[in-house]
Structure 1
Amino acid sequence: MLPEETIAALAAELAEAEATRGMIPRITARHPEATVEDSYAIQGVWRDKALAAGRKLVGRKIGLTSRAMQQATGITEPDYGVMFEDTVYPSGARIEAGQFSNVRIEVELAFVLRKPLAGPDCTLEDALDAVDYAVPALEILNSHIEMDGRTIVDTIADNAAYGGMVLGDTRKRPDEVDLRWVPGLLYKNGQIEETGVAAGVLDHPVTGVAWLANKFAAHGARLEAGEVILAGSFTRPMWVDAGDDVRCDFGPMGEVACSFV
């Protein structure tokens, strides 16, 4: 692994980039030997300092779980990051675009856990049993590392490119709706831009929750009751700017909308 001082320095660079809404050069361009384990270590140092500063953890995001996203990024391995309370917006929110870098929107389902979920042998059925309810959501992507040539290492270190989450008002238990067939019709300024169905995420969106529980088990950790798990996009990311209005129709799961100012 990279030396601890290098990991700490890179985490500090990313924290500064977040605070100043800036960008840093690719980690893999400067440290080609960096591994996925290094990238999660960098993310972990950044996370722990944010928690120490008083930010509250509300859940986890999973990324790169669909072929649409893997093809859009050229990265084939899922990843995960953390979500803080101050990054969650209600549907209809007016969101300052300038607080993010390289702003894009993804269509996802979020799942709130009613009980802890642990690996290493967690199955889809186990994860479905642990889910209290599903919520339609939009993820706001926010990249602090230069985009050209990014690898999975760069993306993970940058908290899996997570910037924020817009949550809808509809709540459905897993037995109330066929989660595989939840649609997403994504509009920008009234024009449809992307479509997809939730089965695009690993053939069932809750499969990502099981994947994350098994991933955590390798570090002696588990997902906790009450956590929100953002399961990954089933459309390609859509670029947005200040002045754009975004709306997504989730069919039986209702709609989620926001405006960037």
Structure 2
Amino acid sequence: MALDPSTINRFGDELYAALVDGRTIPNLRDRAPGMSIVDAYQVQARMLVHRLAAGETVVGKKIGVTSRAVQQAIGVFEPDFGILTSAMEYADGAEVPWETLIQPKAEAEIAFVLKRDLVGPGVTAADVLAATDHVRACFEIVDSRIDGWDIRIQDTVADNASCGVYVLGADKVDPRDVDLALAGMVAMRNGEVVVTGAGAAVQGSPLNAVAWLANTLGRLGTLLLAGETILSGALGPMFAIEPGDRLTMKVGGIGACSIAFSRESVHA
């Protein structure tokens, strides 16, 4: 049975308040047994309403849960998605105030910037390639508003796919000039390698992940729009970060990016 509108609104309001206050809340699935993924996306939409009312604008989408290991961990066997807003993007090399985060982790990804709309269903990897203006190296800093990252698919979807902030590299590469499935990634924390991976970790190719998103959104009556940024999913495992860390990553044939974090933490 679908959640009633008042419960959906209450959960969305709670998650937004947790975001603003820099705190976490108990997981949703145990408080609403039978909560479906459809319910969770409705909660996500309610949370987004608050962000837009606060002056943020939608600038793109993110794809999450693309690796088989993560899917098995949270009990789902397809990706999910969240909405990127203007407040989430930092410039390459920027320092993020640690106190604006709650319990962050990092993922190294390839970001797509579209030059024309992608209208699903029926979108193929070739369609994604044709609609992409360029790809860029990207760090996504995921950040759950759920206590202790105690999440299953309903919790992370409701929490805007655990979106935190992200940074795009300066290099812009035509995706037709690189084999995205074979593109190798190395991520470093404070100069030491912490994660390696490749494009094939993302649904066989990041192009497949973006096609999945376009088709999923198309069935929901939503488009991927020209000019939007699409974070296509982690090229390797997400990893822990601490105040004062500096992260750098490189993707073969695409480029590099970096992000740092202040040493201050009000959550310590």
Cα distance in structure 1, aligned partners of 2:99 and 2:76: 27
Corresponding residue for residue 224 of structure 1 = 225
Superposed CA offset, 1:77-121 (max 9, x none): 310000111211122111112211221000100001111111111
Contact 1:245-1:259 within 8 A present in 2 as well: yes
Q: For residues 228 and 157 of structure 1, do their structure 2 counterparts lie closer, same or farther at Cα, with a shift above 3 Å needed?
A: same
- Residue 2 (1) aligns with residue 3 (2): yes
* Structure 2 runs not aligned, ≥5 long: 263-268
Task: Find out whether 1:59 has 2:60 as its counterpart.
Answer: yes
Amino acid at match of 1:87: M
Following superposition of structure 1 onto structure 2, how do residues 77-96 of structure 1 map, counting pairs within 5 Å? 77-96=78-97
Contact 1:69–1:235 (Cα < 8 Å) also in 2: no
Q: How many residues align?
A: 261
Distance 2:92 2:3 in 1: 41
Q: Report the counterpart of residue 16 of structure 2 in structure 1.
A: 15
Secondary structure, counterpart of 2:221 in structure 1: coil
CA contact (8 A) 1:135 1:170 kept: yes
Q: Which residue of 2 aligns with 1:193?
A: 194
Distance (whole Å) between structure 2 residues aligned to residue 206 and residue 231 of structure 1? 8
Q: Which residue of 2 aligns with 1:250?
A: 251
Deviation at 1:52, TM superposition (A): 2.4
The amino acid that maps onto 1:7 is I
Structure 1 spans left out of the alignment, 5+ residues: none
State whether residues 133 and 173 of structure 1, in contact with CA within 8 Å, keep that contact through their aligned partners in structure 2. yes
Q: What is the deviation of 1:74?
A: 5.5
Q: State the partner residue of 2:135.
A: 134
Q: Which moved more, 1:3-12 or 1:96-105?
A: 96-105
Matches for 1:3-152 after TM superposition, within 5 Å = 3-70=4-71, 75-147=76-148, 149-152=150-153
Displacement of 1:175 in angstroms is 1.2
**Residues 1:178 and 2:190 aligned together:** no
Instruction: Letter of the 2:89 partner, please give it.
Output: V
TM-score (norm 1): 0.96
Matches of 1:154 and 1:147, distance apart in 2:
12
Say if 2:168 is the partner of 1:167: yes
2:243 match: secondary structure: coil
Moved beyond 3 Å, runs of 4+ = 68-76
Does structure 1 retain, via aligned residues, the 8 Å contact 2:137–2:250?
A: no
Following TM superposition, by how much is the alpha carbon of 1:67 offset from its aligned partner in structure 2, in angstroms? 2.8
Q: Does the residue aligned with 1:175 lie in a helix, a strand or coil? A: helix
TM-score of the superposed pair, with normalisation by structure 2: 0.93
* In 1, Cα distance between equivalents of 2:259 and 2:66: 24
Aligned partner letter, 1:176: D
Secondary structure, counterpart of 1:29 in structure 2: coil
- Contact kept, 8 Å, 2:74 with 2:153, in 1: the verdict is no
* RMSD (Å), alpha carbons: 1.4
CA–CA separation in structure 2 for the residues paired with 1:135 and 1:170: 6
* Structure 1 letter corresponding to 2:217: F
Q: Percent identity, aligned pairs only?
A: 37
Alpha carbons 1:243, 1:259 under 8 Å: kept = yes
Kindly indicate whether residue 215 of structure 2 is the aligned counterpart of residue 214 of structure 1: yes
Paired letter, 2:55 = G
More displaced 10-residue stretch of structure 1: 215-224 or 37-46: 215-224
Q: Is the 8 A contact 1:98 1:242 kept in 2?
A: no
Segment of structure 1 superposing worse, 62-71 or 92-101? 62-71
SS at match of 2:118: coil
Asked if the contact 2:27/2:155 (under 8 Å) is kept, the reply is: yes
Conserved 8 A contact 2:75-2:153: no
Query: CA–CA distance in 2 between the matches of 1:226 and 1:83?
Result: 13
